[in-house]
Amino acid sequence: MANLLDFNENDMLGRVTSVDTEQIIIEIENGTVMNKICVGNLVAIETAKQHEKIIALIDKVIRKYIENYEDEDDEIDEMMVSSADYIKVSIIGTYHSVYGSTHDLFKRGVETFPQIESKCYGISGQNLQNFMNILGKDIDADKRLKIGSFMMDTAADAVLDGNKFFQRHAAVLGSTGSGKSWCIASILEKASVLKYTNIIVFDMHGEYKSLSEGSESIAQRFRIAGPGDLEVTKPDVLFLPYWLLNREELLSMILDRSDSNAPNQASRFTRHIRDLKEETLKREGKTDTLKTFTVDSPIPFLMSELIQKLTIDDTTKGVGKNGAAVKGEWEGKLTRFISRLETKIGDKTYGFMFQPTDEAQKYDWLGAILCKLLGYTDGEKGIKIIDFSEVPSDVLPVVTGTLARLLYDVQFWMDPEKRTPFTIICDEAHLYLPVKEDADSVQKQALYNFERIAKEGRKYGVSILPVSQRPADVSKTILSQCNNFIVLRLTNERDKGVIKNLLPDALKSTIEFLPLLDVGEALVVGDAILLPSKIVLDKPSDTHKPISATRNFWDEWDNKEPDNAAIVDAIEALRKQCRV
């Protein structure tokens, strides 16, 4: 059987002059081939095994000038200048023309390193097409996730292993306007054809709304309740009532740690919440749960009753030895805490949390809402988009972290045989998953929840996919747990440095390509793809394009008249804190 990679002397570039565990230096024997050699091209290098060739990526092309002196009669009369050409390549993997019973297999890593003087061939033309076709052939048809085409051969599909891409966490990173949203929309389109797709998108700006609209919709859309939804609700509106938050999440929003009475406030707050949850369980007849529940268990209670109990503590006098009234144990120590709590409750921008509907206060409500997000209903879409655009920025980390924690906890406690895996796509991750050293108390709670998923989620069928324009501002713990990266154009040195530290040493030179990428072009690296490659990403269909396209300022200044009525409407929306 003929090898798919078939080289002749015209393909030969030169011979090996230096080898280490990651890089090889080739001396080019024929200077005329230098105009065919480009950084980013692939080469094949012979090894001692006949059926193996090392596949490597050209990192650097070098021409050295050498000064030679002609010595006649012990005097230097003339200086001659000659040149020597070299290329430096990074090892990517090994091509096996025969591997056991398999033919034409590409594997990562190296079993046999090349020797000095081994021949090196350029991979181009038909050999390049054949090699690109090898890359995806071992991925089963039902696992194939096509994301675009290879830049070095646009006729070859760039295919990821869908299992490895989602199960081991992934990240989509790139500067604003580089094509991240289109990339996510395209991936969602591909995933939507599966029967039981289970993906939840945390949409920070409402830009994925188009995926849930029209006859070609591929997703269900929910949005966190805004101030305009508190009196009349709609089926797509989500409330996240306060009782879903655990003790630390609630305290991070209300407690002032600098207050000298903070320990007393936290103590009474905790005690009363536990008592109120216990009363709910008794009313519901949940005797088994009564034995083991904790203050963090998501059990409904009324905030008005909590404030009533705290107020009694804050105003109750104590009784002295002679029966006279004295200052109570908690008297005056909870005043500021109650005030902060009442301020949050009265602020309609927090209505989705502190002013839930009567339905959201029922014991069975949590089961119904999580079945919508994690379960399956015939005729409904498996991709769920949750619009957080009306959530105040200061509470965004708590809201996203609480929802992620609930989704993960339900999966954790579910019978392993009945779990369906799901992925959370974290749009604009830098807004609520910051570097730990820069996080405040609210953000640290969200970080704890997401980092727990990043470190342990794979075992329970939960993965996350952070999307960010500022990878330097995203939790290092979360990014370090990602095994797949789609990196679009990046120009900031700090951001490039983060990516560089996440990649194997042999691939770090590829980071220098990032500022040169065009919109919709990406470097794709990770377990899901055999060959780290520059890829032209597929665009989503016109009906599913996200609402995030870069505006053409110059054109619109020439053609589009400002709308005064729209400005007035926007002012009213600002006052109402509601776009609807």
- pLDDT for 487-530, tens place per residue? 999 999 999 999 988 887 767 777 888 888 999 999 999 888 88
Whether residue 386 is found in the same domain as residue 535: yes
Whether residue 171 is found in the same domain as residue 134: no
In a domain, 240, yes or no: no
Whether residue 125 is found in the same domain as residue 98: yes
Structure confidence at residue 21 (pLDDT): 84
For range 26-52, the mean pLDDT:
86
Structure confidence at residue 76 (pLDDT): 47
Whether residue 330 is found in the same domain as residue 469: no
Residues in contact with 11: Cβ distance below 8 Å, sequence separation at least 6, in sequence order = 121, 122, 124, 127
- What span, in angstroms and rounded, lies between the C-alpha atoms of 268 and 315? 13
In a domain, 405, yes or no: yes
In a domain, 36, yes or no: yes
For range 332-356, the mean pLDDT:
91
User: Cα 237 from chain centroid?
Assistant: 25
Structure confidence at residue 579 (pLDDT): 67
Q: Is the pLDDT assigned to residue 81 strictly greater than 60?
A: no
Per the CB < 8 A criterion, the answer to whether 63 and 34 are in contact is yes
Element (H, E) at 384: strand 383-387
- What span, in angstroms and rounded, lies between the C-alpha atoms of 552 and 554? 6
**CATH number for 200:** 3.40.50.300
Whether residue 457 is found in the same domain as residue 509: yes
Per the CB < 8 A criterion, the answer to whether 309 and 267 are in contact is no
In a domain, 133, yes or no: yes
Where in the sequence is the domain holding 401, given as residue range(s)?
157-228+374-551
Name the pTM for this structure: 0.87
Domain count along the chain: 3
Express each pLDDT in 252-263 by its tens digit. 888 888 888 889
Above pLDDT 90, what percent of the chain?
49
- What span, in angstroms and rounded, lies between the C-alpha atoms of 330 and 337? 12
* pLDDT band at residue 186 under the 50/70/90 scheme: very high
| Residue 213 one-letter amino acid | E
In a domain, 514, yes or no: yes
Whether residue 186 is found in the same domain as residue 318: no
Whether residue 304 is found in the same domain as residue 428: no
Whether residue 434 is found in the same domain as residue 530: yes
Query: 116 phi and psi, to 5 degrees?
Result: -60, 140
Whether residue 445 is found in the same domain as residue 417: yes
Structure confidence at residue 489 (pLDDT): 94
